[in-house]
């Protein structure tokens, strides 16, 4: 992914303000056959995202944050569930059709912006190639900060464990 340039400045990314080793790996190349899909979800850490369609077509269904309750459940035990738009369960999601989703089809060279907290479904209408990147803006950075800090701590712990393992291997040679 180092071959791809940073996103244009109209997608300000707070992660770019830190050294590269502290930036989460949030740029992906998606290759999908016709019919492949991502079920309803909100993006990692409630980040924003952009997706550029390189080849093929993709259909998006977006639910704004005010309609999240139509398509998302969280039990008292913390279990999360999203509605399955391919096979809607109206007993579990009785208000699914009361939301106001926005639909869009991406064609080659189209770019879509996905705001923080927007629940969305994505389906490949044809064989598809897309490039996407998630980012933190000044507006959503407070929301992103807790999971980002946890990620940094896990990386620090993993680096420490690797160091301890290397020391142990060298000691017992």
Residue 7, judged by CB atoms within 10 A of its CB (0-12, 13-18, 19+), counts as middle
Q: Kindly state whether residue 3 falls inside one of the protein's structural domains.
A: no
CA–CA distance, 109 with 53 (Å, rounded to integer): 5
The CA–CA distances, whole Å, from 68 to 40, 60, 64, 98 equal 10, 16, 7, 11
Q: Kindly state whether residue 99 falls inside one of the protein's structural domains.
A: yes
- Residue where the block lists tokens 């996905």: 114
pLDDT tier, 79 (very low <50, low <70, confident <90, very high otherwise): confident
Work out the average pLDDT over 164-170: 73
> 81: domain CATH number?
2.60.120.10
The pairing of beta strand 119-124 with beta strand 37-41: antiparallel
Q: Kindly state whether residue 65 falls inside one of the protein's structural domains.
A: yes
CA–CA distance, 89 with 111 (Å, rounded to integer): 31
Number of domains in the chain: 1
Q: What is the pLDDT of residues 18-45, one digit of tens each?
A: 899 899 999 999 999 999 999 999 999 9
pTM: predicted TM-score of the whole model, two decimal places: 0.82
Mean pLDDT score of the chain: 90
The predicted structure's pLDDT at residue 173: 65
Q: What is the pLDDT of residues 99-128, one digit of tens each?
A: 999 999 999 999 999 999 999 999 999 999
The CA–CA distances, whole Å, from 149 to 13, 143, 154 equal 16, 11, 9
Q: Kindly state whether residue 61 falls inside one of the protein's structural domains.
A: yes
Q: Kindly state whether residue 27 falls inside one of the protein's structural domains.
A: yes
The predicted structure's pLDDT at residue 124: 99
Quote the Cα angle for 84-119-23, to 5°. Answer: 125
Q: Kindly state whether residue 9 falls inside one of the protein's structural domains.
A: no
Q: Kindly state whether residue 6 falls inside one of the protein's structural domains.
A: no
The predicted structure's pLDDT at residue 122: 98
The predicted structure's pLDDT at residue 9: 63
The predicted structure's pLDDT at residue 67: 96
pLDDT tier, 76 (very low <50, low <70, confident <90, very high otherwise): confident
Q: Kindly state whether residue 1 falls inside one of the protein's structural domains.
A: no
Contact 74, 80 (CB under 8 A): yes
pLDDT of 158 > 90? The answer is: no
The predicted structure's pLDDT at residue 89: 94
Which structural domain, as residue segments, surrounds residue 142? Answer: 14-171
């Amino acid at each position: 992914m180092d071959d791809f340039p940073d996103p244009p400045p109209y997608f300000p990314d707070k992660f770019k303000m830190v050294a590269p080793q502290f930036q989460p790996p949030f740029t992906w190349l998606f290759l999908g056959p016709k019919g492949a899909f991502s079920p309803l979800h909100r993006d990692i850490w409630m980040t924003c995202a952009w997706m550029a369609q390189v080849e093929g077509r993709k259909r998006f269904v977006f639910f704004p944050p005010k309609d999240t309750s139509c398509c998302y459940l969280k039990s008292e035990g913390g279990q999360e569930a999203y509605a399955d738009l391919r096979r809607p369960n109206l007993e579990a999601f009785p208000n699914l059709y009361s939301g106001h989703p926005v639909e869009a089809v991406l064609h080659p060279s189209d770019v879509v912006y996905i705001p923080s907290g927007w629940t969305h479904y994505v389906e490949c209408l044809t064989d598809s190639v897309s490039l996407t990147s998630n980012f933190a803006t000044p507006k959503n950075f407070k929301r992103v900060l807790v999971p980002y800090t946890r990620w940094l701590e896990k990386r620090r712990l993993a680096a420490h464990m690797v160091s301890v393992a290397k020391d142990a291997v060298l000691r017992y040679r």
